[in-house]
Structure 1
Amino acid sequence: MPSIKQVQITFDCAEPERVARFWREVLGYEVPPVPEGFATWADYDRSLPPEHEGPAYAWINPVDGAPRLFFQRVPEGKVVKNRLHLDVRVGTGLVGEARLAVLEAECARLIALGAARVQLLLADDENESCLVMQDIEGNEFCLD
């Protein structure tokens, strides 16, 4: 049985650089090391076949090895709700008004980066409050 070594989350985008920069700011990710044999990512990009040059970006978590994020250009636009979304966990361990205050503060920060607020889902018998948002290309995610 094969053993999984890493997980990467891939975003299909109209504008990979723009979406990548948004998520880098949201999550505090960093540019990964340049591949061996290349001085810069631009040098690496120029080594690729022309059809693969330029349309992708990647970020890594500098702290704990969380999944790498990869952003690639695709020709079609987003037309339906995501079947998978990210939960940005800013309120972990908090409940009630303290949780709502943290969610609202992070929501304001992300709106300044270009995100859109969609819906506040208040706590019920099973779940704590969360805030549904969209990134700059309309991909849904939750502040949790």
Structure 2
Amino acid sequence: MSTIKKFQVTFDCARPERVARFWCEVLGYVAPPPPEGFATWDDFNRSLPPEDRDAWFACSDPSGVGPRLYFQRVPEGKTAKNRVHLDVRVATGLIGEERLATLEAECARLVALGAVRVRLLPADDENESCIVMQDVEGNEFCLD
């Protein structure tokens, strides 16, 4: 008998804390408190050797239901389309103009946070409308 496993979603990025804080705003996630003995994350980072500073950051669903998100610094930039992306479910159960209005309102909120709107995928015979977007470092995601 198989059991459901907990998992985290890991993002490769240039600036882990910046990307993590963006996703906190998108999803209502929270950053953890700084490690014990440090008043702030900046204090913690200053305690590390220069090459290890700002190397990672994480955030989690405050309700404990969603997966932890982990952001790790990598030297290379993004060069291709994501093979995996997040669908941010803001219009579940809505159709037509009501769905579009909800998607557009959330799109405007996220653009103000630094996201980029890529394109609207209009409804067809099989799928409802969604908006393809990019986060602050160009990682694709969909408003669904």
- Given the two structures, how large is their TM-score scaled by the length of structure 1? 0.87
1:131 maps to what in 2?
131
Q: Unaligned 5+ residue runs, structure 2?
A: none
Distance 2:17 2:32 in 1: 15
1:24 aligns to what?
Answer: 24
**What is the letter of the counterpart of residue 66 of structure 2?**
A
Q: Is the 8 A contact 2:15 2:54 kept in 1?
A: no
Superposition deviation, residue 138 in structure 1: 0.6
Counterpart in the other structure of 2:67: 67
Gaps (5+ residues) in structure 1? none
Amino acid at match of 1:71: F
Letter in 2 for 1:92: T
CA drift at 1:108: 0.2
Instruction: Give the C-alpha shift of residue 54 in structure 1.
Output: 2.8
Moved more, 49-58 or 129-138: 49-58
- How many Å apart are 1:90 and its aligned residue? 0.1
Task: Show CA shifts across 1:77-126 (max 9, x none).
Answer: 00100000000000001000000000000000000000011010111111
Residue deviations 1:34-63 (CA, integer Å, cap 9, x gap) = 56xx23464766777765443111001012
3-state SS, counterpart of residue 100 of structure 2: helix
SS at match of 1:133: strand
What amino acid is the match of 1:24?
Answer: C
In structure 2, the partner of 1:39 is 37
Aligned to 1:120: 120
Query: Which piece of structure 1 moves more, 4-13 or 106-115?
Result: 4-13
SS in 1 for 2:108: helix
Aligned residues: 142
* In 1, Cα distance between equivalents of 2:9 and 2:17: 16
TM-score by length of 2: 0.87
1:109 paired residue number: 109
What code does the residue aligned with 2:82 have?
N
